[in-house]
Structure 1
Amino acid sequence: MASSETNVRAQAEAFKPQFTACGCGGGGEAHWVLPVRVIRSFEYRTSRTLVLKDVCPKVSTEAFIDRLRKEMASSKLIPKTFLKHDFNCVKILHKPHMFKTSNPVINLDNDDWILPEDAVLDQFGLVNETELTFFNRADYEQYKLNPVHKTA
């Protein structure tokens, strides 16, 4: 009976969110879980969601993009065709407990939510479980001019 109780506790610990003290000089802040929508095509709504765990709030956008690329390369959820695409921009899709965009692909309203590469993540009001998008900036600018959805 003690063995099954230990198993149950181990399973419960595995499903607990992992918020550890930040070891990157962040002053003991908790790490975040950030869902990221990787957008391959705006017109065809081709996207996949990747969940990044244990993200330090004090990491730069550039380092975050590097980690995203590594996670994409090792994930079985991301098709190989996505890896050939030039993803170079991160934007906030929506913040928890706030209004969501009506566009099913990306938030076109707030261009000031695009994260510059030299910034730190927590400078933009990000919190745990803020949804982000990762895409090609040139494709985004083209889609903004004519936001039409196509079908195959």
Structure 2
Amino acid sequence: MDYDTEEPLTSNVRPPTDSLLTIRIIKSFPYRNVKNHILPSVDLKSTTPQQLLEKVQTVINTTGGLRPYRNIIYNTVKVYSKAHGSKSMNLVINFEQDEELVLVCEDEDNQRAGTSKTLWDLGVENETELSVFNWGAYVEFKKNPEEKW
């Protein structure tokens, strides 16, 4: 055995009031334009998905390296994967379980309020990967998931 069973998983070391989240900012589904941004020190027990979306929008609008990502309206947050969990075969986004995994959506055709429960109440844990994207672009890509180069 090459590992210590007494050693805790890294995802369980940090408390839910000081968690690390990876935000996958998706500009284009067909062209696979995705930029990861790490959000340290997120309080999962007091932050709602709506507040998280607003924070990510602020980060996009104020971070120089994210300048090319500013021309998209980001209105949806969806869980991509949890720590030590399985990932989707699709490198851009997981198409499964929209009903359970979409935490907030501000699109006119698919409004899902993200203000009543906290991220912790919705099952988000330390080291969870969350995708932030435009719902309309996601629906179009889901109809015909053809990647372009």
Q: TM-score, normalised by structure 2?
A: 0.78
Larger RCO, structures 1/2 (Cα 8 Å, 6+ apart): 2
Partner of 2:88: 101
Partner of 2:73: 86
Instruction: Choose the corresponding residue for 1:37, options 24, 42, 53.
Output: 24
Q: Return 5+ residue gaps in structure 1 as ranges.
A: 1-18, 21-28
Pairwise CA RMSD:
1.7
Partner of 2:61: 73
The CA distance in 1 between the partners of 2:78 and 2:22, in whole Å, is 12
Q: Return 5+ residue gaps in structure 2 as ranges.
A: 1-13, 105-113
State the one-letter code of the partner of 2:41: D
Q: Percent identity?
A: 28
Instruction: Choose the corresponding residue for 1:126, options 124, 127, 139.
Output: 124
Aligned partner of residue 126 in structure 1, secondary structure: coil
Aligned partner of residue 141 in structure 1, secondary structure: helix
The CA distance in 1 between the partners of 2:139 and 2:78, in whole Å, is 13
Number of residue equivalences: 125
Aligned partner of residue 17 in structure 2, secondary structure: coil
- Bigger proportion of residues as helix: 1
Answer yes or no: is the 8 Å Cα contact 1:48–1:77 preserved in 2.
no
Structure 1 segment 55-66 matched on structure 2, within 5 A = 55-57=42-44, 58-66=46-54
Deviations 1:83-131 (A, max 9, x none): 1210000000001111111001001112120003223211221110000
Answer yes or no: is the 8 Å Cα contact 1:37–1:134 preserved in 2.
yes
The CA distance in 1 between the partners of 2:64 and 2:41, in whole Å, is 19
Partner of 1:135: 133
Q: How many Å apart are 1:81 and its aligned residue? A: 2.8
